[in-house]
Amino acid sequence: MSIIVSAIGQGLIWGIVGIGLFLTFRILDFPDMTVEGTFPMGAAACVAAIYHGFSPLTATLIAFGVGMIAGFVTGILYTKGKIPVLLAGILVMTAAYSVNFRIMDRANLSLFDKPSLLTGKFMDSLPNYFNSVVLGLIFVTVVSLLIIYFLQTNLGQAFIATGDNPTMARSLGISTDAMQIMGLSVSNGLIALGGALVAQNNGFADVNMGIGVIVVALASIIIGEVVFGDLTMNERLIAVTIGSILYRFVILIVLKLGFNANDLNLISAIVLALFMMFPVFEKRFRIRQTLSRGLSKHD
């Protein structure tokens, strides 16, 4: 039972990272590689801030701000510097590695005997691993509601239009450069926020903890889309979090089958590839139709 609760808690926390990537990958159609730098940057900034006496909430907000700065730099390099999309993200991701060393003054930093958002009277009173579920649920709910509200505003609609058709958006007087910079800033802010929460859940930050993050975040997005099919924009945001939880269960099952934990990145890549190829399998084997007929007969 504790393993299942832990998987749900991790899925909720990582869901924030998935939502952050969703803003650029799905809405802006921007393959942002910055995430593998901003995730550990958020973790490093949060843990370092707590280590130096800041409250866990303040440290978490600092991580969000640091991530926004990194995303802003990527946006400037792309829109104003005219550096190709992938290269702009890779440049900031590479620079972030050195910045993370500067922030922590070492390769990793522990939260041993330090407070975090997962500690305190209320959190300590909960059963094992339920603190991560509560924390993840609070943050993913607040983030999802804020994003849903934002997308209903005029600014949010301009943001969506920029991703759908930049040429048309510019003809309507929308500054696509500003929308892309804003999207990259908020996206990487959320990813750094996720990094901060993961670091507090793990109890440490490490400069290498960003390796494979983009695959994990993409898996959350793709799994949610494949499982639930056609959804509205708001529903897709919720599906990302559910996809993140399902991904954690897939990983849990794989590990239970006896696979080595060191193969997690390989397993993640394989899982993502299979789900991304699902539309091909569905078209060829008519999977959804077969399942629907089976359910109808059962009813």
**pLDDT, one tens digit for every residue, the chain (299 residues):** 678 888 899 999 999 999 999 999 889 888 889 999 999 999 999 999 999 999 999 999 999 999 999 999 999 999 999 998 889 999 999 999 999 999 998 888 998 888 999 988 888 888 888 899 999 999 999 999 999 999 999 999 999 999 888 899 999 899 999 999 999 999 999 999 999 999 999 989 999 888 888 888 888 888 888 888 778 888 888 999 999 999 888 888 887 877 776 777 787 788 788 877 876 766 666 655 554 555 455 55
Look up the pTM and report it: 0.89
Exposure class string for 86-116: b at 16+ Cβ within 10 A, else e: eebbbbbbeebeebbeebbeeebbebeebeb
Give the pLDDT score at 69.
Answer: 96
Give the pLDDT score at 1.
Answer: 66
What are 44-102's pLDDT values in tens digits?
999 999 999 999 999 999 999 999 999 999 999 999 999 988 899 999 999 999 999 99
Give the pLDDT score at 295.
Answer: 47
The domains found in the chain, sorted by start residue, are 2-264 (1.10.3470)
